Structure 1
Amino acid sequence: MRPLLLALLLIVCVNAGFSDFKDKVKDFFSGVKIGERAKKALEKLKKVFNVTKLLHVKEKLNKVKAKLLTKLVMPKEVQEALKEKLKSLIHRKKDKVSPNGDTIDEINQKHGLQDVMFQGDIILNDQQTQEVIEDVEEQVSGNRTKRQAFVDRYYPQTTWQQGVNYFFDSSVGYTLRRIFKKGAEEWSKNTCIDFRENSTAQDRIRIFVEDGCWSYVGRLGGQQDLSLGEGCDAVSIAAHELGHAIGLYHTQSRYDRDRYITLYAQNVKPDWLDQFAKQSMATNNNYGITYDFGGIMHYGATSATGNGEPTMVPSDTKYIETLGSPFVSFYELDMVNKHYKCHDKCHPSRSAKCKMDGFPHPRDCTRCICPSGYGGRLCDERPSGCGRVLMATGEYQTLTDVIGDRSAGTRAREDFKLCNYWIEAPQGSRIEVKVVSFTAGVANDGCPYAGVEIKTHRDHKLTGYRLCAPEDAGVTFISHSHIVPIITYNRMYETKTVLQYRIVGGGTRVTGIRPNPTTASPNCYDSYRCSALEKIGICTSPSFSESLKKTLCPKLCGYCR
C-alpha cells in the first residue's frame, strides 16, 4: 500500500558458497554497469521522462549504498534454514508462452528498464526518493521519526478520494483500451473507487504505449503516466499497474516480509536487487491484514532470477507457484477498502451479516464481498455457475475438470473461464485432496494462464494453493475443515485438472454454510442420462448451454437450491 519505502534490500551472503554473489554485489554498487544500462534505456524514453531527473534519483539512491551494506548480511542460521527449505521444492519446468515475456519483470527486462524502474515497474518522484533515503538513515541509526505508517504526511492527498480520472493517448488501440478498462473494473467492482475517462480533469492518468509496463505510485497531482507497452496487454498486468496508481507497492516489500518469504540472493541478478526493497515497521502499516502469497501485487518466485532458480521461497513451499497471481486477492480488496475508507459507507446495523469473513459491499451494503471460493449474497454458498458440490467419503473419489476454449487456439484470451467446486464432508471431518495430473504447457510464476486453486486453510480469506504444472502430480493437501473450495481457471486453449479426494479424520467445524445445494431441494432431479453426460463433461463444457445443463443435470451441475 502507500508505504514509505525502506531501502534497497541486498542480502550479502559471504558464507556457505555465497562468495561469488559478494563479488556481484560489489559490481552492482560500483554504479558503472547501472549507469550505462540506465542511460541506454532512458535514451529511448527522452520524450516521456525528464532523463536528468531520473538519473538524479538513481544517484541519490546510490549515495546510501555504503550504509546499506552494514545491515544486509544473511545470518548463518538463515542460510542453513534456506538450504533445508530448498530440498523440499519440486523442480518444475517453466513454460515460455509469450515471446514478449510472461511476467512484468521479463517484459521490462527485454527493454532494459530494470535499471530505470524501482522494484521493476515503479517510477519514484522526488518526495518518494527522499523518503527512501530517510528510511535508510532511520534503519541504520535506529531512530524513528513520528511519521505515521501508510497514512503518512501526504495522506489522503496521495489517494484518489474523488475517483480516478484517466485518458488514452493516441498510441492506445481499441483492444488495449478494452483491456485497461477490464483491469480498472477488477478494482472498482469490489471497492468504492470510481474510474472515469476524463482527459481534462486536473489530476489524471495518461494511459499510453511505451516500452514496458510501469506506473507511478499513488496520486501525484496533475498528469501522471501509466505505460502498457508491447506484451503488457493483459487484464492482470493492467490491474497490477493500476494497483500502483491507487497507492499499492509490491507485497514482497512489506516490513514483515521476511517472516513469510526468504530471499535467495545468490539467484538474483545484482542489477535487479532493488526489486526486493523492504519497508520498516515505522513506514508500513498493513491495517493488521496478514501476508497473502496470492495477491496481484506480489511478484513471482523467479522474478529477477539470473539462473532460472527461485529468488523468493515462501515459508510454506507449496505456495511457490502461487506467487505472481493474475487475480486481485480478497485481502488486497480489504486493504484498499480500508485505505479509501470504503467500509465507512456501510453501517453495521444496516448491512449484510456476512459469513466466511466476508464484508459488506460499499456499493450495496445488503450484499457481501466474499473470499475466493465462496459466493451468494452472504458468502454462504458455492459461487454460481460452472462447478458443483462433491461429497467426500472414506474412499478416494475423482474430480476431473476440463476448462477452456480449444476453438480460440493457443493465443491467450482476455478473460478467464472459472469453475467453482466444493468438496464437502460431514461436519468435524477433514478432507485430503491429492493432485493426480494437470495439463502441460502453461506452467509459470503465479499460474497466469490456467491453474487450479485448492483452499484447505483455516483462514478462509487467504488465497489457496495454486498449481499449474504437470510435476505437481502427487502433491497432497489436508484441510482444516469439512469444506474445501476448488477453483479451476483458464484463459488459454484448454486444461484438464484431475484430483482425488477423501475423508481422512476430524477437522474444524464450519458454521453458517447453507445445506449442500445438490440435495437441498427434494424436487430437483437429474436425468437418467447424466451418468453418461458426466463422462463427457456436461457441467464444464461450453458445448452445452446453461438451460440444457439445468434441464438434464441440475443436481450434478450444482443448480439445485
Structure 2
Amino acid sequence: MIRKHPDFLDTNPDEVKGERLFEGDILLTPTQRRSLNERKGIAHPYYRWRDGSDGLPLVPYTFGDRSVDRVAVREGLEHWMEHTCITFQRATTIRTPHLRFIKGGGCYSYVGRMGQWRGQPVSIGTNCNVWEHLLHGSLKSVAVRLHFLCQALGFDLSSGDRLIMLNIEPWESSPTTINTDWLPTAKSQSPEVELGIVVHEVGHAIGFVHEQSRPDRDGYIKIINSNVIPNRLSNFNKYSNAAINNMDVPYDYSSVMHYGPKGFTVNGKTTISTHNPLAQGMIGRRVRNLPGLSHRDKLLANRMYNCIGKYGNYGFLNF
C-alpha cells in the first residue's frame, strides 16, 4: 500500500559516490563525520555563509546540470529570501564557495558552507518528486487519490477526492507507461518538485539539521524503532548538546526540517509519534499542503545569521 503522503527520503539512495547519506539526505565531510563520532559540534560558525558587500549573508549559487528543475530551485531560494536576510545570487566566479544545484540520484546536501570546496552539490534530483517516482516505477497496481495526484502535477482541483486505480501491466521488454489523456489541461507552468523539498535541502546548505535529531527531542516525540527499517535506525539518532546550537528556539513540530510520521517505515506504520496527539499531523509538512518555512524555521535562520543585528527590525522574526 502507498501512503497518502509519501516521503522523498524513502526513495533516496543509501549512498552517493560511495559515501553513505547521513540521516537520509545529508552529505558529510570527513571532518564533520569525525566530529559526530566524537560527539562534537558540526554547527560551528565556520560552516556559516559569509556576509556580502552589503553586510548581509550571501550564498552564491550555480546550476551544474541542465536538467535540474530551475523553476523549483528559484522558488525555493526566493522563499528563503522572503523570510530571512540571507541573499542568494548567481555566482560570478566558480573559484569561491558556492552552491551547485544538480540533478543527482536523489535529494541531498552538505550541512553549511564548505569553505574548502569550489561548488558544493545540492541535489534536487531523481525521486525528489515522489509522485513521479510512483508513476514511473515498476509497481503492478498503484492506488492514489486523484486530488493529490493532480495537485502534484500542477492542476488546480478545488474539490473532490475520488479514489482511482492505475493498473500498470508493463511489457517485459518495454518501459511502464500510463495513459494520462483523462487529465485536465494545466493552467500554468509549475515546478516538478515541491517547494518544501527545495527549502529543506537549502536549509541543510545554510546550516540546518533535522529537527527530530535535536538533543531535546525526547520531550516531544517518540521514535518507534520496531517500525523502522532495521538498517535505517541510525537515521533517528539524536545530537548531543555540544553538537548543535538551537539558538534558544523551541522544538518545532511544523519545521520544514522535520521527518514525516512514517519516515523509513518498514511496515507502513508510524515511526515518529508526537507526545501531543494534536501535533501528529504537523510533522513532515514539507510534502503537505502548506510547504515551506515555519515560524520557528524563520526565527532560527534569522538568529543564526544575526539578521536583526545586521539589518534592523524590518520584519525579520526575532521572537
Q: Same fold (TM over 0.5)?
A: yes
Residues 135-188 of structure 1: per-residue CA shift (max 9 Å, x gap): 1xxxxxxxxxxx7x6763xx1453343311111123335xx1011011111211
Question: Using the alignment, how far apart are the partners of 1:318 and 1:239 within structure 2?
Answer: 25
| Counterpart in the other structure of 1:330 | 295
Measure how far apart 1:216 and its partner are. 0.8
Aligned partner of 2:93 among 193, 200, 206? 200
Map of 1:355-370 to 2, 5 A cutoff? 360=313, 365=314, 368-369=315-316
3-state SS in 1 of match to 2:113? coil
- Is the Cα contact below 8 Å between 1:113 and 1:212 reproduced in 2? no
Question: Using the alignment, how far apart are the partners of 2:317 and 2:243 within structure 1?
Answer: 29
- Is the Cα contact below 8 Å between 1:294 and 1:323 reproduced in 2? yes
| Counterpart in the other structure of 2:28 | 124
Map of 1:113-192 to 2, 5 A cutoff? 113=15, 116-135=20-39, 152=44, 155-162=45-52, 163-173=58-68, 176-192=69-85
Residues 106-131 of structure 1: per-residue CA shift (max 9 Å, x gap): 221xx454982100000110110111
Question: Using the alignment, how far apart are the partners of 1:217 and 1:150 within structure 2?
Answer: 8
Q: Does 1:224 align with 2:120?
A: yes
Question: Using the alignment, how far apart are the partners of 2:43 and 2:9 within structure 1?
Answer: 29
- Is the Cα contact below 8 Å between 2:196 and 2:256 reproduced in 1? yes
| Counterpart in the other structure of 2:229 | 269
Measure how far apart 1:316 and its partner are. 0.4
Question: Using the alignment, how far apart are the partners of 1:158 and 1:128 within structure 2?
Answer: 14
Aligned partner of 2:260 among 300, 317, 324? 300
Measure how far apart 1:240 and its partner are. 0.5
| Counterpart in the other structure of 1:95 | 4
Closer/same/farther in 2, CA of residues 106 and 198 from structure 1, 3 Å limit: same
Higher CA-based Rg: 1
3-state SS in 2 of match to 1:227? strand
3-state SS in 2 of match to 1:166? strand
Question: Using the alignment, how far apart are the partners of 1:211 and 1:199 within structure 2?
Answer: 27
RMSD: 2.3
Amino acid at match of 2:239: Q
Measure how far apart 1:231 and its partner are. 3.4
Structure 2: tracts of 5 or more residues without a match: 53-57, 129-192, 287-291
Closer/same/farther in 2, CA of residues 269 and 151 from structure 1, 3 Å limit: closer
Map of 1:420-459 to 2, 5 A cutoff? none
Question: Using the alignment, how far apart are the partners of 2:21 and 2:43 within structure 1?
Answer: 24
Residues 239-263 of structure 1: per-residue CA shift (max 9 Å, x gap): 1000000000100010001110011
Give % identity. Answer: 32
Question: Using the alignment, how far apart are the partners of 1:241 and 1:117 within structure 2?
Answer: 13
Question: Using the alignment, how far apart are the partners of 1:170 and 1:282 within structure 2?
Answer: 37
Amino acid at match of 1:212: G
Closer/same/farther in 2, CA of residues 194 and 346 from structure 1, 3 Å limit: closer
3-state SS in 1 of match to 2:83? coil
Measure how far apart 1:318 and its partner are. 2.0
> Could you say which structure has the greater relative contact order, defined with CA pairs below 8 angstroms and 6 or more residues apart?
2
- Is the Cα contact below 8 Å between 1:150 and 1:285 reproduced in 2? no
- Is the Cα contact below 8 Å between 1:212 and 1:228 reproduced in 2? yes
- Is the Cα contact below 8 Å between 1:252 and 1:298 reproduced in 2? yes
Q: TM-score if structure 1 supplies the norm length?
A: 0.40
3-state SS in 2 of match to 1:282? coil
Measure how far apart 1:237 and its partner are. 0.8
Question: Using the alignment, how far apart are the partners of 2:97 and 2:90 within structure 1?
Answer: 12
Question: Using the alignment, how far apart are the partners of 2:15 and 2:47 within structure 1?
Answer: 29
Question: Using the alignment, how far apart are the partners of 1:264 and 1:189 within structure 2?
Answer: 36
Residues 333-358 of structure 1: per-residue CA shift (max 9 Å, x gap): 111111111110355xxxxxxxxxxx
Question: Using the alignment, how far apart are the partners of 1:340 and 1:291 within structure 2?
Answer: 19
3-state SS in 1 of match to 2:248? coil
Map of 1:399-418 to 2, 5 A cutoff? none
| Counterpart in the other structure of 2:167 | none
Question: Using the alignment, how far apart are the partners of 1:195 and 1:315 within structure 2?
Answer: 37
Question: Using the alignment, how far apart are the partners of 1:116 and 1:308 within structure 2?
Answer: 24
Question: Using the alignment, how far apart are the partners of 2:85 and 2:42 within structure 1?
Answer: 19
Residues 359-391 of structure 1: per-residue CA shift (max 9 Å, x gap): x3xxxx2xx3579xxxxxxxxxxxxxxxxxxxx
Question: Using the alignment, how far apart are the partners of 1:231 and 1:167 within structure 2?
Answer: 21
| Counterpart in the other structure of 1:211 | 105
Structure 1: tracts of 5 or more residues without a match: 1-92, 97-101, 136-146, 348-359, 372-460, 462-561
Question: Using the alignment, how far apart are the partners of 1:318 and 1:94 within structure 2?
Answer: 20
- Is the Cα contact below 8 Å between 2:215 and 2:239 reproduced in 1? yes
Map of 1:409-558 to 2, 5 A cutoff? none
Amino acid at match of 2:101: I
Question: Using the alignment, how far apart are the partners of 1:311 and 1:198 within structure 2?
Answer: 40
Q: Does 1:241 align with 2:145?
A: no
Closer/same/farther in 2, CA of residues 170 and 284 from structure 1, 3 Å limit: closer
Question: Using the alignment, how far apart are the partners of 2:264 and 2:248 within structure 1?
Answer: 29
How many residue pairs align between the two structures? Answer: 239
Question: Using the alignment, how far apart are the partners of 2:51 and 2:269 within structure 1?
Answer: 42
Question: Using the alignment, how far apart are the partners of 1:150 and 1:289 within structure 2?
Answer: 18
Map of 1:15-94 to 2, 5 A cutoff? 94=3
3-state SS in 2 of match to 1:219? coil
Question: Using the alignment, how far apart are the partners of 2:247 and 2:100 within structure 1?
Answer: 30
Question: Using the alignment, how far apart are the partners of 1:340 and 1:124 within structure 2?
Answer: 22
Amino acid at match of 1:106: D
Q: TM-score if structure 2 supplies the norm length?
A: 0.69
